């Protein structure tokens, strides 16, 4: 089958799933006009209209409904063939370009990268460390790892691991300022706030099914999770940190949990989650292997 027809089928499947040419184009990293032309060419070859288009929605015609499951299976076969070809070479080949928050690069990723590189010597990794919310399409990343809560988008979400957040401070800071036990005890303390990817208006403290909200008045506002972490270790104040970062330092005696009977959640009491996002379409086997390794490492924290 010609490569052009595979691209046409991929465009048709994406539009069918997204119910939008614009959304499909965004997910595929193509222009809307290119996706439109691809679907029109497929319709010409099939001598059938596959999609109904109007100002409000895109829907499948009867012919489109009949074609869709076959088109999906064909794309599955294409993925399997690509994986099989990679396997024949003895190992995965190619590049993986992705972005992660800075703290992930200090606490989880180094060991994952070392092991992954040993197992996949033919794969080259290109990594951007950034706490901002990046778009994998605009940045041309295979995937982007984000923390906190998944945002509604046209991207595909890949859950890595759920985690809790708590307040932490150094023993040196607490020896001078005292150790808050309740959210209201934080008044007058030096609070450290992470301002990327966005400034949070409130901290929500969860205990025994009840939520207490507090608007923090920070002494330090930092746009780097790594800077927040190291400032806390240095005794600059109290910060909210992920448990997969903070608890190892508690065990080492370098940090102490503040308001220890509370965890910080969303306003509805949900715990955050590390997750990856990527455009629609099947991920290469090498990318899936890396995400699996990341998930395994995060769950072990």
In this prediction, residue 153 carries a pLDDT of 64
User: Chain-centre distance of CA 64, in angstroms?
Assistant: 33
In this prediction, residue 86 carries a pLDDT of 60
In this prediction, residue 19 carries a pLDDT of 85
User: 237 is written with which tokens?
Assistant: 């104040």
H helix or E strand, kind and range, residue 28: helix 21-28
CA atoms of 6 and 28, how far apart (whole Å) = 13
Length of the chain: 301
User: Chain-centre distance of CA 199, in angstroms?
Assistant: 19
In this prediction, residue 23 carries a pLDDT of 81
In this prediction, residue 204 carries a pLDDT of 95
In this prediction, residue 85 carries a pLDDT of 63
- 145-196 confidence digits (pLDDT tens): 988 777 656 677 889 999 999 999 999 999 999 999 999 999 999 999 998 7
Q: Which residues contact 266 (CB under 8 A, 6 or more apart)?
A: 149, 204, 272
In this prediction, residue 90 carries a pLDDT of 52
SS3 content of the chain, % helix, strand, coil (to 5): 45, 25, 35
Q: Let me know how many helices (H) and strands (E) the chain has, helices first.
A: 11, 15
H helix or E strand, kind and range, residue 292: helix 285-299
CA atoms of 154 and 15, how far apart (whole Å) = 12
In this prediction, residue 84 carries a pLDDT of 65
The pTM of this model reads 0.70
Phi, psi (deg, nearest 5) at residue 285: -60, -40
Per-residue model confidence as pLDDT tens for the chain (301 residues) = 556 688 888 889 888 888 888 888 877 778 888 889 999 999 998 899 999 988 778 899 999 999 999 988 888 787 667 666 665 555 556 789 999 998 998 889 999 999 999 988 888 899 999 888 888 887 888 999 988 777 656 677 889 999 999 999 999 999 999 999 999 999 999 999 998 766 567 899 999 999 999 999 999 999 899 999 999 999 999 999 999 999 999 999 999 999 999 999 998 899 999 999 988 777 888 899 999 999 999 888 7
Q: Which residue has the tokens 């379409």?
A: 281
CA atoms of 148 and 55, how far apart (whole Å) = 35
Angle at 38 between CA 32 and CA 44, to 5 degrees: 135
204 contacts 267 by C-beta, under 8 angstroms: yes
Are β-strands 238-242 and 191-194 bridged in parallel, bridged antiparallel, or unpaired? parallel
Q: How many CA atoms lie within 13 A of 260 on its CB side?
A: 7
In this prediction, residue 135 carries a pLDDT of 84
Q: Which residue has the tokens 């699996």?
A: 292
């Amino acid at each position: 089958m010609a490569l052009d027809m595979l691209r046409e089928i991929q465009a048709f499947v994406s539009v069918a799933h997204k119910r939008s040419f614009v959304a499909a184009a965004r997910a595929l990293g193509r222009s809307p006009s290119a996706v439109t032309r691809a679907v029109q060419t497929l319709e010409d070859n099939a001598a059938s209209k596959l999609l109904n288009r109007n100002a409000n929605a895109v829907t499948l015609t009867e012919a489109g409904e009949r074609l869709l499951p076959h088109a999906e299976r064909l794309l599955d076969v294409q993925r399997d063939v690509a994986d099989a070809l990679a396997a024949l070479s003895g190992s995965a080949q190619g590049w993986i370009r992705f972005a992660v928050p800075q703290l992930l690069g200090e606490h989880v990723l180094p060991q994952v990268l070392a092991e992954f590189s040993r197992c996949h010597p033919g794969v080259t990794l290109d990594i951007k460390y950034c706490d901002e919310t990046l778009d994998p399409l605009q940045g041309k990343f295979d995937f982007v790892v984000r923390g906190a809560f998944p945002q509604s988008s046209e991207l595909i979400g890949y859950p890595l691991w759920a985690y809790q957040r708590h307040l932490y401070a150094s023993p040196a800071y607490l020896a001078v300022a005292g150790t808050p036990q309740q959210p209201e005890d934080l008044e007058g303390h030096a609070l450290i706030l992470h301002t990327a990817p966005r400034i949070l208006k409130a901290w929500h403290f969860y205990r025994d099914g009840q939520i207490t909200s507090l608007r923090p008045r920070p002494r330090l506002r930092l746009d780097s999770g790594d800077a927040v972490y190291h400032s806390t270790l240095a005794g600059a104040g109290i910060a909210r940190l992920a448990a997969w970062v903070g608890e190892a330092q508690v065990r080492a005696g370098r940090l102490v949990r503040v308001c220890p009977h509370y965890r910080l959640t969303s306003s509805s009491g949900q715990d955050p989650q590390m997750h990856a996002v990527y455009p629609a379409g099947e991920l290469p086997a090498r990318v899936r292997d890396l995400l699996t390794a990341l998930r395994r490492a995060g769950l072990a924290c």
